[in-house]
Amino acid sequence: MPTQIKAKLSRLPTLEVFARFAPGTIDPIVALRNKYAPKQIYPRDVGIRLISHVYKNEFSLRILTSNLMSLATTTIVPFDAPIIKAFRNSTVKKKALPPSVYYQISGVPNFYIASHLSELFHDLHTQLNREPIATSYKLGITGLLESHRESGRIVRELSALEHPPPIRFDAFVLVTRSNLIAPFELESNDIVFPFSGNQMVYDSYLEDLKKRYRKPYEIL
């Protein structure tokens, strides 16, 4: 694809699908942020991003809305994902940049749901910056810190504490990224699809996904 066309496409608005943090579920995380990062750096805690880079147009919006509504109302129920550990972003150390501190969240069941959505909406994905599906997820605590020593201290302190309760997810959220604002910001015209499916249907659905998207390594 010619560079000029890529540049134009990269400026088009895109759609992203999140599994929403249930109200109150990340309050313990917010309390830790207030302790370790007084300056607010997470303006919108929508949830865990499942898929991204879908060009926003009338067709894609209709397809995503219809399928997300169907899954949310017939199949998926609110679910929990446990926190695994506190860690610091080690990749920035190689670049001599200050690290951030995160909590790692289990990829079950979000990995499997994201895999299904990625397959379901494969034809809608752009070819720009398509990301691999995460096998676990992270929830930021601090943002960039002043030193590696400071990040190490915070990780040790968090590791000595009991992990916060599992994170609850209660809906799909379809959001728009305009590409004209800061990378960490999203537009506020969300479309929410609360999970209200049947527990037995959900259990069967998840077991089927685990067989379909089984990997040679463990999903955390």
Q: What is the pLDDT of residue 29?
A: 93
Give me the pLDDT at residue 4, please: 46
Query: What would the pLDDT profile of 156-184 be if each residue is shown by its tens digit?
Result: 999 999 999 999 999 999 998 876 555 44
Q: Which residues contact 173 (CB under 8 A, 6 or more apart)?
A: 17, 18, 19, 20, 46, 47, 190, 191, 192, 193
For residue 220, the model assigns a pLDDT of 59
- Tens of pLDDT, residues 72-94: 999 999 999 999 999 988 766 66
Is 7 inside a domain boundary?
no
**What is the reported pLDDT for 115?**
93
Task: Pull the structure tokens for residue 56.
Answer: 């926003």
The confidence score (pLDDT) of residue 218 equals 56
In a domain, 6, yes or no: no
| Positions in the chain short of pLDDT 50 | 1-8, 128, 183-184, 216
Q: Is residue 5 part of a domain?
A: no
Residue 218: inside a domain: no
Q: Is the peptide bond before 194 cis (omega within 30 degrees of 0)?
A: no
**Total structural domains within the chain:** 1
Quote the CA–CA distance of 29 and 25 in Å, as a whole number.
9
CATH of the domain at 115: 3.90.1140.10
The answer to the question of residue 207 being in a domain is yes
Closest to 109 (Cα-Cα) out of 1, 5, 3, 212: 212
Domain range enclosing 58: 12-212
